[in-house]
Structure 1
Amino acid sequence: MRNKKKAIFNTIFLILIFSITVYMVFKGEDLGEIIHTVRQADPVYLLISVVCVVLFILGESVIIFYMMRTLGAKVKMGHCALYSFVGFFFSCITPSASGGQPMQIYFMKKDKLPIPVTTLVLMIVTITYKAVLVVIGIVIWIFGRGFLEGYLGQYMWVFYLGVGLNIFCVTFMMILVFAPGLAKWIMVKGLKLIEHFRFLKPKTTRLEKLEASMDQYHETAAFWASHKLVILKVLLITMAQRILLFTVTYWVYRSLGFHGYSIITLTILQSVISVSVDMLPLPGGMGISESLYLVMFAPVFGEALLPAMLLSRGISYYAQMLISAVMTCVAYFIIGRKEQEEK
């Protein structure tokens, strides 16, 4: 019952944010003209952008497959791809992408993969996924601040906030991994403080679950220390995976017949949006992503700005969500049916 209520809340929240975003972006605009411009886009370049989105998703499946095999777990590459589609679908529709990994663990459990192994793998995937954003954000912050100010202007604070939140998140996760004793002390004290101020009712089971979850991070630290080359390869794959998705705006740019800006410039600008909105509690950064896009890419697309945003966000987020939704249904059919046949 609790899961159903949470699903209903997330659906209503998603629809509400989507409706507000559409209203704010297209209010007072000539929709007929926008649709006409979209129809003129070169389908070849749009197809390339869709391929980049699919490769972005499958990049995670390569990491999952590689790490599972490293840990001695028998898993099929096709099923790893389904885990990735499931994860990205639920990440797209839940605030702060919080629903992805629990659903991945759910399907991995149906495939009879050991929970400690799946938790370890997904934990490292999360850390490296965030760490790559931190690296990109810091590099741009140090070497491209002047360049960025020309595009963001008074909205630079959003970028700084995004970088800061990502650094905090990665730092906290690294403390959990490499200083589990300190992390456990912080978490236990924090829980007791919350219970002391009556934000939560005191429960012994809650404390036990928290302490047990902290022990999982110790296993992550042990793996990290003994598999440095594996972690490096995962970081490199994750970097390539992220960059592939960031190039979508460039392919949209080319589809609309533009040539002036390089793929490097537009990829950097798109990465700035991702760094800025990644940690915000909105599904897919909806609303704020569109706002930043309209600010940053105004000099790039000119009068074609709204059609460009419609295509870029439509492919990088909404198409990603739709493709992942279809493949999630396939996962239910294939993995769920396999479990029923075995029973």
Structure 2
Amino acid sequence: MNRKNLISAGVLLLLVALTISAIFKGNDMAAVVAAMKKLHPAYLCAAAATAIFFVSAEGLMICYLLRSLNYRTKAATCVKYSFVGFFFSGITPSATGGQPMQLYYMQKEGHKVSDSTVVLMTVAVIYKFVLVVMGVGILFFYHEPLSVYLKKYLYLYYLGLFLNTALVVILLFIMVSPKCFKGIVIGGEKILKKFRLLKSSRERTEKLIEMADQYHEAVLFFLKNKSKIAAVIAFTVIQRCSVFFLTWLIYRGLGLEGASAFTVMSLQAAIYIAVDMLPLPGAQGITEMMYKTAFSMIFPGAYLTASMCVTRGLNFYLVLILSAMVSLWSHLRSGKAGRMATELP
């Protein structure tokens, strides 16, 4: 982990401390703990499994797309890439650190940078696209209830939907425009050379141009195989809905009734859309505040804080801890492999 990531992790820990302080302030913690104890173990286990599935599903999609490009890769290896991405996304602002680290490990394990970039961008675009479609659907068909539940945070929903839509458009343009991608690659190299972070190298420039050409070939392959993209979109819808369904599991596990699964899942989706692009590690703090506002009429009394602690604990902190363990294991394994390679005659 480099210095930048360490700083981001430190900021995350500070935000966690401030968030915990804000959450527990003014709450009867005895009542909150008592409410949490009412959570049925079967629902808790199902919710935890759903959180792990959410992250693992991305790895399965990466595996599917890599195999489409004739890579003989294992599903477990790609799931590892997914957990690594979740960890570094969770500790960096706007989740910017995930894909670079995924790309790093994929390249170290024999995948072409061009192919890996296309696969990761395809997964990212579809992930955002599905989120935007869901967001627009909620906006058109559930606007009035949404404004009632979100109250003062409704503007964040509009902002999140706009930012996600803009990102989808930008990523799609980069993907389908070979000149644009090649310009970004070559332009990036020129900037790094200008600031003397890279030395001039004709061989490196030629390799970058070759990589850009290979990237475009991979994009064309997926554009010609629309059935594969359709399969990833369908699976992404299931993946997205799974993490929203987690909140419904907690609601039912606490023995509560009255709110429909659609209402609970729509509100959780709205929170994700609102905070997804905010420049805070793990969207820490704002997610919890929005949750308490959005679900104040769904979870009564101490159940509100109890449900938030369990839901956030499973869909972020549990997965972040597991992702940290996977990332550490990948780092140690990568270092061991590097040392073995240098020791070979």
TM-score (norm 2): 0.87
User: What is aligned with 2:30?
Assistant: 32
Q: For residues 216 and 299 of structure 1, do their structure 2 counterparts lie closer, same or farther at Cα, with a shift above 3 Å needed? A: farther
Per-residue CA distance 1:204-251 (angstroms, 9 max, x = gap) = 969979x86876764454233212111111111111111101111111
Q: For residues 142 and 35 of structure 1, do their structure 2 counterparts lie closer, same or farther at Cα, with a shift above 3 Å needed? A: same
> Which residue type is aligned with residue 250 of structure 2?
V
Tell me the CA shift for residue 32 of structure 1.
2.5
* 8 A Cα contact 1:176 1:214, kept in partner: no
The correspondence of residues 176-187 of structure 1 with structure 2, limited to 5 A, is: 176-181=174-179
SS at match of 2:2: helix
User: What is aligned with 1:325?
Assistant: 324
* 8 A Cα contact 2:89 2:282, kept in partner: yes
Q: For residues 201 and 20 of structure 1, do their structure 2 counterparts lie closer, same or farther at Cα, with a shift above 3 Å needed? A: farther
* 8 A Cα contact 1:110 1:336, kept in partner: no
Q: For residues 151 and 190 of structure 1, do their structure 2 counterparts lie closer, same or farther at Cα, with a shift above 3 Å needed? A: farther
RMSD: 2.9
Q: For residues 180 and 147 of structure 1, do their structure 2 counterparts lie closer, same or farther at Cα, with a shift above 3 Å needed? A: farther
Tell me the CA shift for residue 84 of structure 1.
1.3
Tell me the CA shift for residue 106 of structure 1.
2.3
User: What is aligned with 1:253?
Assistant: 251
User: What is aligned with 2:307?
Assistant: 308
Q: For residues 186 and 341 of structure 1, do their structure 2 counterparts lie closer, same or farther at Cα, with a shift above 3 Å needed? A: closer
User: What is aligned with 1:55?
Assistant: 53
User: What is aligned with 2:140?
Assistant: 142
Distance in 2 separating the partners of 1:187 and 1:337: 31
Tell me the CA shift for residue 100 of structure 1.
1.3
Q: For residues 326 and 256 of structure 1, do their structure 2 counterparts lie closer, same or farther at Cα, with a shift above 3 Å needed? A: same
Tell me the CA shift for residue 80 of structure 1.
1.3
- The one of 119, 127, 130 aligned to 1:129: 127
Identity %: 35
Distance in 2 separating the partners of 1:27 and 1:216: 55
* 8 A Cα contact 1:97 1:284, kept in partner: yes
- The one of 67, 82, 92 aligned to 1:69: 67
Moved more, 260-269 or 239-248: 260-269
> Which residue type is aligned with residue 43 of structure 2?
Y
Per-residue CA distance 1:108-165 (angstroms, 9 max, x = gap) = 2332222222121111111111111111111111211112112112321110000000
User: What is aligned with 1:269?
Assistant: 267
> Which residue type is aligned with residue 326 of structure 2?
M
Distance in 2 separating the partners of 1:191 and 1:328: 28
Tell me the CA shift for residue 34 of structure 1.
1.5
Distance in 2 separating the partners of 1:36 and 1:174: 49
> Which residue type is aligned with residue 305 of structure 1?
L
The correspondence of residues 1-343 of structure 1 with structure 2, limited to 5 A, is: 4-181=2-179, 218-219=216-217, 221-303=219-301, 304-332=303-331, 337=336
Tell me the CA shift for residue 40 of structure 1.
2.3
TM-score (norm 1): 0.87
* 8 A Cα contact 1:110 1:339, kept in partner: no
Distance in 1 separating the partners of 2:199 and 2:297: 52
Per-residue CA distance 1:86-125 (angstroms, 9 max, x = gap) = 1112211221111211222222233222222212111111
Q: For residues 183 and 326 of structure 1, do their structure 2 counterparts lie closer, same or farther at Cα, with a shift above 3 Å needed? A: closer
Distance in 2 separating the partners of 1:307 and 1:131: 32
SS at match of 1:247: helix
Tell me the CA shift for residue 31 of structure 1.
2.1
Runs of 4+ with deviation above 3 angstroms: 179-192, 200-209, 211-221, 329-343
> Which residue type is aligned with residue 322 of structure 1?
I
> Which residue type is aligned with residue 322 of structure 2?
I
Distance in 1 separating the partners of 2:135 and 2:52: 24
Distance in 2 separating the partners of 1:151 and 1:238: 26
Distance in 2 separating the partners of 1:155 and 1:267: 17
Distance in 1 separating the partners of 2:164 and 2:13: 26
Tell me the CA shift for residue 291 of structure 1.
0.9
> Which residue type is aligned with residue 136 of structure 1?
M
